[in-house]
């Protein structure tokens, strides 16, 4: 802005963000005319349409609410994979402990419904062998060692860096179809996925001593 004022030359600013709903505030801060100088490209310009769906759980008891949340999560994951077996899915949870707990719930639901191979990439014949080999020889985290042979990955900041890198590489290569992770993955790693599930919109705030709702910006 200062360069434009001193040189009297028109400056064009291009801002790119997938998570910036308050673009008008940014334009105002940069002294851009909202009528003539601001151009906003929404979801209608996407080559692949983006859909959002919110599912509410009315259950009040914590244990039953957790079980219902796991059941809904599995239903969404399985329906996406049945629709297109090549899809990959990210499931975001709000604690490190919940990554393994949610992944185990997905595995147990699949075994209960006799869909254990749902998470295995059938287009890569070597998938089962690769998952088992990495689990036995490379993985240090015990939860990941247990879940990886089922085609499920977990990712959080408390895991060894070597395990996190292994999970990221195997997801990119298509060996892992469902990855349960915390928000640290979203901030630091670019892993495109067809379906993204945010499991729960409340996170515990230690400063307030209670559960608080995630902001819309965090969800986006």
Residue pLDDT, tens place only, 56-68: 888 888 888 889 9
Give the contacts of 189 (CB within 8 A, at least 6 positions apart): 168
Least confident stretch, 50-54, 61-65, 94-98, 182-186: 182-186
pLDDT at 188 over 70: no
- Give dist(CA 87, CA 42) in Å, integer: 24
When mean pLDDT is compared over 23-27, 39-43, 99-103, 186-190, the highest value belongs to: 99-103
Q: What is the pLDDT of residue 177?
A: 94
Q: What is the pLDDT of residue 31?
A: 81
Check if the beta carbon of residue 197 is closer than 8 Å to that of residue 90.
yes
Place of tokens 């992770």: 181
Q: What is the pLDDT of residue 203?
A: 73
Q: What is the pLDDT of residue 8?
A: 74
Strand, helix or coil at 178? Answer: strand
Confidence of residue 46 (pLDDT cuts 50, 70, 90): confident
If you average pLDDT over every residue of the chain, what do you get?
Answer: 86
pLDDT at 126 over 70: yes
């Amino acid at each position: 802005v200062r360069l434009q004022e001193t040189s009297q030359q028109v400056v064009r600013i291009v801002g790119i963000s997938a998570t910036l709903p308050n673009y008008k505030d940014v334009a105002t801060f940069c002294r851009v005319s909202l009528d003539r100088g601001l151009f906003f490209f929404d979801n209608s310009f996407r080559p692949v349409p983006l859909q959002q769906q919110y599912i509410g759980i009315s259950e009040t008891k914590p244990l039953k609410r957790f079980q219902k949340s796991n059941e809904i999560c599995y239903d969404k994951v399985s329906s996406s994979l049945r629709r297109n077996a090549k899809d990959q899915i990210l499931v975001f949870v709000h604690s490190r402990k919940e990554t393994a707990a949610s992944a185990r719930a997905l595995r147990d639901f699949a075994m209960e419904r006799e869909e254990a191979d749902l998470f295995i990439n059938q287009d890569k014949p070597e998938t089962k062998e690769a998952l088992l080999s990495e689990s036995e020889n490379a993985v240090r985290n015990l939860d990941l060692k247990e879940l990886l042979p089922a085609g499920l990955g977990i990712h959080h900041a408390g895991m060894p860096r070597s395990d996190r890198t292994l999970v990221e590489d195997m997801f990119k290569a298509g060996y892992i179809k469902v990855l349960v992770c915390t928000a640290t993955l979203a901030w630091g790693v670019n892993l495109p996925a067809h379906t993204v599930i945010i499991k729960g919109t409340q996170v515990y705030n230690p400063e307030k001593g209670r559960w608080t709702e995630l902001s819309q910006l965090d969800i986006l």
